[in-house]
Chain A
């Protein structure tokens, strides 16, 4: 191992982030190279200095209590003020079932799924359940939605807070588009659900395109290394407005 390599590995070595073989290589280089050994010494001195300086102050007094007060208040709001009566529940379930039957019949008409718009429309429709769109992380908070994908998907999707433009963030789910891992971020505009799919691009950027499939509008675009497709039964102009807001 030469000096350039040793210097590059110095921090990872210090932080125990290299495998045993590399650690041994670095150690043997340090043993024979005074310059690199001095650099390593300096790193160690800095670490000891930081540890000795005891910068790990705790949270200020009262923070824990005030957090728990806020959390309990939030928790109390999660309990509904009354319970739905059985006949109300039955009526609701009946309506949902009827809507599902009609929608299902229409959607289940045989289709050949060859082009991408048809595929994303099929996925979007499949995600719509009588109780709302299927999401794995349900939150209107983009700070919660995006980190949820850490370690669960090979990339983190773009998630925007577009409440002031009328688009309410509902959540997100993992999906698969043409066998590729994809993520769908779900927004709502006046009762219409919008799925914004993204996935890692395999070939060249696909051209921007908007089209209509079975009454659903689809807008496709590419950005850096991701391909996107937004799909919804919302008005095409509104869908383009959402896409513009996401891309801005």
Chain B
């Protein structure tokens, strides 16, 4: 093979693939964690991330730079939301029926529990993972993006496509719910 225009194209594509690997796949772990917590299913999360990567690759030229991670996570989240919507169509998804209204955690001041109670549950990481997985989706995603990925409110607002004030109120509610469940679980254990 000589040096025709095709060789130039091939080498451009190789460079593009390498850039994609460096800039987008660097966030593969974050993408998987987000998908895993949103879908609550390891196999589905793998497929969703792969799907999102191929979509992101097709549009990669238009999105680079410091916002690459937020953009990529937004693509991952969108793919997951579509899967969840499909799931809900197929069966009655039990997405929103867990105790959104339960627990002592209303708005405002939460009756203080001792930090020891929480520390008690903390030693049990499986319990904590399940507690997060049981949160309604809107609260689950902001907790995962904030506590696991340590993203700023601004980045979360861009990924979830909600105002910054809503990021703040959902985080507060998510933490209230986790705390009240930790307290509930602790009391149950002592009974």
Binding site for B on A (CB under 8 A): 3-4, 7, 10-12, 15, 17, 35-36, 38-39, 41-60, 63-64, 66-68, 70-72, 74-76, 78-80, 83, 136-139, 141, 143-144, 146-148, 150-151, 156
Taking CB as reference atom, which chain B residue is nearest A50?
B147
B139 at the A/B interface (Cβ < 8 Å)? Answer: no
Measured CB to CB, the nearest residue on chain B to A144 is B59
Q: Which B1-59 residues have C-beta < 8 A from chain A?
A: 4-6, 9-10, 13, 16-17, 20-21, 25, 28-29, 31-33, 36, 42, 46, 49-50, 52-59
A55 contacts which chain B residues (CB < 8 A)?
33, 125, 128-129, 132, 148
- Could you tell me the distance between the alpha carbons of A67 and B60 in the complex, rounded to whole angstroms? 15
Partner of A49, one of B46, B59, B128: B128
CA distance A54 to B32 in the complex (A): 15
B13 touches A78 (CB 8 A): yes
A79 touches B109 (CB 8 A): no
CB pair B178 A70 closer than 8 Å: no
Instruction: Confirm or deny: B102 has a beta carbon within 8 angstroms of a beta carbon on chain A.
Output: no
Number of contacts between A and B (CB, 8 Å)?
A: 172
Q: Are A53 and B128 in contact (CB under 8 A)?
A: yes
**Closest A-chain residue to B178, C-beta based?**
A46
Complex Cα distance, B78 from A144, in Å, reads: 9
Q: Give the size of the chain B interface in residues (CB under 8 angstroms).
A: 67
A42 contacts B29, C-beta separation under 8 Å: no
Query: What's the minimum C-beta distance from B13 to chain A, rounded to whole angstroms?
Result: 5
A83 touches B55 (CB 8 A): no
CB closest residue in chain B, given A64: B28
B59:A58 contact, CB within 8 angstroms: no
> What's the least CB distance linking B20 to chain A, in Å?
6
What residue in chain A is nearest B124 (Cβ atoms)? A53
Q: Which residues of B contact A (CB under 8 A)?
A: 4-6, 9-10, 13, 16-17, 20-21, 25, 28-29, 31-33, 36, 42, 46, 49-50, 52-59, 62-63, 67, 70-71, 74-75, 78-79, 82, 108-110, 112-113, 115, 118-119, 121-122, 125, 128-129, 132, 146-148, 152-153, 158, 161, 168, 171-172, 175, 178-179, 182
> Which residues of chain B come closer than 8 Å to A39, judged between CB atoms?
109-110, 112
**Chain B, interface SS category:** helix
Q: Are B178 and A83 in contact (CB under 8 A)?
A: no
Given A11-B175, A17-B152, A68-B25, are A58 and B32 also a contact pair (CB < 8 Å)? Answer: yes
Give the distance in Å from the alpha carbon of A80 to the alpha carbon of B10 in the complex. Answer: 10
B132 to nearest A CB, angstroms? 7
Complex interface: chain B residues within 8 A of A52 (CB): 122, 125
A143 with B78: CB separation less than 8 A: yes
Q: How far is the CB of A172 from chain B (nearest CB, A)?
A: 10
Residues of chain A contacted by B33 (CB below 8 angstroms): 55-57
A40 vs chain B, min Cβ distance (A): 10
Known contacts A55-B132, A59-B31, A151-B67; A11/B168 CB under 8 A = yes
Is the pair B171, A15 in contact by a Cβ cutoff of 8 Å? yes
The docked-state distance in angstroms from the alpha carbon of A74 to that of B54 is 8
A72 contacts B17, C-beta separation under 8 Å: yes
A74/B57 in contact, CB under 8 A: yes
> Nearest chain-B residue to A136 (Cβ)?
B62
Q: Which residues of B contact A74 (CB under 8 A)?
A: 54, 57-58
Taking A47-B147, A55-B148, A71-B57 as contacts, is the C-beta distance between A83 and B5 under 8 angstroms? yes
Q: How far is the CA of A139 from the CA of B171 in the complex (A)?
A: 33
The verdict on A56 contacting B119 (CB below 8 Å), with A136-B62, A156-B161 known, is: no
In the complex with contacts A42-B179, A47-B147, A144-B58 CB distance below 8 A: yes
Give Cα distance in the complex from A151 to B29, angstroms: 24
B171 / chain A contacts, CB cutoff of 8 Å: 11, 15
Is A71 a contact partner of B54 (Cβ separation < 8 A)?
yes
